[in-house]
Structure 1
Amino acid sequence: MIYDPVKHAELLVDYCVYAKGGERILVAASTLALPLVAAVHDALLARGAMPIVRLEYPSQLDDFIRLAPKALLANLHPVQLAEVESLDGSIRVLTPTPPSNVAPDRSALYRRTLAPVARERAKRKWNLTLFPTAYSAQASGMTLQAYETFVANAMFLGDADPVARWGEVRAMQAQLIERLSRADEVRIEGRGTDLTLSVKGRVWANSDGKRNMPSGEVFTGPLEASANGVIRYDLATVYAGREVSGIELEFRDGTVVRARADVGDDVLQAALDTDEGARRLGELGIGTNFGIQRASKNILFDEKIGGTVHLALGNAYPETLGTNVSALHWDMICDLREGGRILLDGEVFQESGRFV
């Protein structure tokens, strides 16, 4: 199918942030996403909401982090926080561009500075989505037309009623959560991976497209001191504008005690030094979207691949009852589709990427 920014905008406005008259909704994106931004702007106005549009040129954030004096990177301007406090919701649009040459330690510093903004934004309606760009197509090994189709299909934009399809996703994931909620211990086994952690007493969230579009995952916050063992993340990710791949982590009583990456190890080490909470897990997520079967080097899509798990270092989501606090939240993906397993209290829950 052909990607249609108007259909995408309608799904974001009506379903993801369910905009109401009088609400202030931030629309943040780069100029690469202008067709989608314009469609979202018009859709919000048609529903009586007030769009607050924030546009950047594609490398603006990287340029700021790279060139700004450290005093600017380390100090949050009151207006930045006040604006988020004035909002009812936000829609942020990713527009992938080539990797940057920003120093990882400077990115970590600015991430710590913006942590209060991120916490305030999380208290309101929010959605993170993607507009297909030429670079994102190239990075995924597709033509732009093929990538646009990939994006549209992942969001069900070609369906007569995309909202109904996301309702089906919600119902399927509710069945998984019913079983997961009875588990105390989760064990993940795979190539280079044998990790156990506890989810006893924690809440599993049903990610049905409201916060991420596309979506398709269930997630929780593991007990902060429970992770023990090793894990290898098979799929490459892009973090702080840099590609990182071949990540291996060893946990002892919830804390990363050894870490390495085949590519981008300096980015990984800087991220781990972000703050005290950066070496603990904030999220365990299980991908359920079997309509996404190929990696595209974009976490918004890749963490939803059916048959994968992702474990995020850093900040936990409060609705899961996770308590880890950090300016970092980095999802890393472990592919279990070739012989991997998830066990719940010793019982196989998923094998070779399929729920048993």
Structure 2
Amino acid sequence: MSGMAQIERLADLVVRAGVNVQPGQGVVVDSDTAHLEIARAVVEAAYRAGAGWVEVNFTDGPMQRSAFDHASVESLSVSRPWALARIEEWRAAGVASIGLVGDANPRLFDGADPAKVAARRIEEVRIRRDAMFGGGMRWSVVAAPNPGWATQIFGEPDVERLWEAVSTAMRLDSADPAAEWQARAATLNTRAKQLDALELTEVRYFGEGTDLTVGLPPQARWTGGGLIDNDGIVYMPNLPTEEVFTSPDLRRADGTMRVTRPMVIAGQLITGLRVTFKGGRITEVWADEGGDVIRAQIDADAGARYLGEVSLVDKESRIAKAGIVFQNTLYDENAGCHVAWGQSFPWSVEGGMQMTPEQRTAVGLNSSGVHTDVVIGGDGINVTGTGPRGTVEIIRADEWVL
């Protein structure tokens, strides 16, 4: 398959199966300048799907680095009223949000002040995330291959090799990728219903340096495959997705987890990460590289040290089958079980979408401008769940056994 054909298939997938653009709908695309060709294809696909208008907001790594080098933490933290108003207008209009991610220069932010990286427009990020998580905006995030990302993985800018791996992970090698993802979504949805039926009160991850027990709020609901917005339209917020997930009780996480895949936060590589929880709160962080970035992030706001997601992924994942570490959270989180500290999902408890923020906090859902996924699964990982029927095996040695 030619490079242009792969780009067009990726764009069609994120528009059709990702945000599921409807006739007349507005679409906002966030993209690095390195992804220009892919952004153009997404705009074309969105208009073909009937979008009323498409707006592209470009970012650029060197420009962001200039901000970290010269602006103060205080100025980077300030919420801009016009930006908040624009997000509210997008939410009210039901705009679809597409994010093209993938570090074009993975070492660009080495040496940047971690406090500045963590502070950058965090309130604006939280407000936009609330609009998406609240069902007012359908969204989809997809990683865009580029030479920098290829170099990060392979040590050379072999974009063709990266596209081959991405095609496997994203099912672009099938006759109809969107239909393939819809079928996979159905399987994940069935798993979510199985978990709901167990009425689990806690899950435990253990093996290979991890032993972490996380409590679940009453009437926790699992999600797999996709979401439904406030207008009843189905969409897939992350592509690829191989997980079933829910939000835990932020007050109930105890133990230690070993992160099994490298991760990149704001262009900075994190390796060898280990994290300890007590009473729901992150109490200790160790890392071979990038520990200061994590410590700055979990101090960004009051909810950043507490979990907002627990997720289950088995070895049948297409990302796992691709056979490489993508060093991109969107992909690598779907290669194995993962958790995330920061913002919870309001739909993860019965009636959560109708609750006030105070009611969500009361049942144990977290609120934060941060949501950072970390992979703790892989060979040797086991997961059990405990509920009214006792303890059951869910994953044994990275294989789904429920």
Q: TM-score range by the shorter chain?
A: over 0.9
Q: Does 1:178 align with 2:193?
A: yes
Mapped to 1, the partners of 2:373 and 2:127 lie a distance apart of 20
- Offset at residue 279 of structure 1 (A): 1.1
Once the two structures are superposed, what CA deviation does each residue of 1:249-289 show, in whole Å capped at 9, x if it has no partner? 22112111222212111111111211111111000112245
* Closer, same or farther: CA 191–207 of 1 in aligned 2, 3 Å: same
> How high is the TM-score relative to the length of structure 2?
0.83
Q: Does 1:138 align with 2:123?
A: no
Q: How does 1:185-264 map to 2 (within 5 A)?
A: 185-199=202-216, 200-208=218-226, 210-264=236-290
Deviates more, 1:275-284 or 1:206-215: 206-215
Note if contact 1:80-1:117 (Cα within 8 Å) is conserved in structure 2: no
Q: What's the C-alpha RMSD, in Å, of the aligned pairs? A: 1.9
* Closer, same or farther: CA 111–332 of 1 in aligned 2, 3 Å: farther
Query: Which residue of structure 2 aligns with residue 340 of structure 1?
Result: 381
Query: Which residue of structure 2 aligns with residue 292 of structure 1?
Result: 319
- Offset at residue 128 of structure 1 (A): 0.7
Query: Which residue of structure 2 aligns with residue 327 of structure 1?
Result: 369
Deviates more, 1:177-186 or 1:324-333: 177-186
Q: Percent same amino acid at aligned positions?
A: 27
Q: How does 1:110-125 map to 2 (within 5 A)?
A: 110-114=120-124, 115-122=126-133, 123-125=136-138
Q: How does 1:142-181 map to 2 (within 5 A)?
A: 143-181=158-196
- Offset at residue 64 of structure 1 (A): 2.2
SS at match of 1:52: strand
> How high is the TM-score relative to the length of structure 1?
0.93
Query: Which residue of structure 2 aligns with residue 19 of structure 1?
Result: 21
Note if contact 2:26-2:51 (Cα within 8 Å) is conserved in structure 1: no
Runs of at least 4 residues of structure 1 off by over 6 A?
none
Mapped to 1, the partners of 2:248 and 2:54 lie a distance apart of 37
Deviates more, 1:120-129 or 1:268-277: 120-129
Q: Does 1:78 align with 2:84?
A: no
SS at match of 2:120: helix
Aligned residue pairs total 353
- Offset at residue 327 of structure 1 (A): 1.3
Once the two structures are superposed, what CA deviation does each residue of 1:90-143 show, in whole Å capped at 9, x if it has no partner? 111013122213211011222433222332344311111111011211222273
Mapped to 1, the partners of 2:146 and 2:270 lie a distance apart of 20
Matched to 1:290, the amino acid is S
Unaligned runs of at least 5 residues, structure 1: none
- Offset at residue 44 of structure 1 (A): 2.1
Query: Which residue of structure 2 aligns with residue 90 of structure 1?
Result: 97
Deviates more, 1:230-239 or 1:314-323: 314-323
* Closer, same or farther: CA 77–8 of 1 in aligned 2, 3 Å: same
Matched to 1:98, the amino acid is P
* Closer, same or farther: CA 45–164 of 1 in aligned 2, 3 Å: closer
Deviates more, 1:266-275 or 1:289-298: 289-298
Matched to 1:314, the amino acid is G
Mapped to 1, the partners of 2:9 and 2:344 lie a distance apart of 32
Note if contact 2:186-2:225 (Cα within 8 Å) is conserved in structure 1: no
Query: Which residue of structure 2 aligns with residue 32 of structure 1?
Result: 34
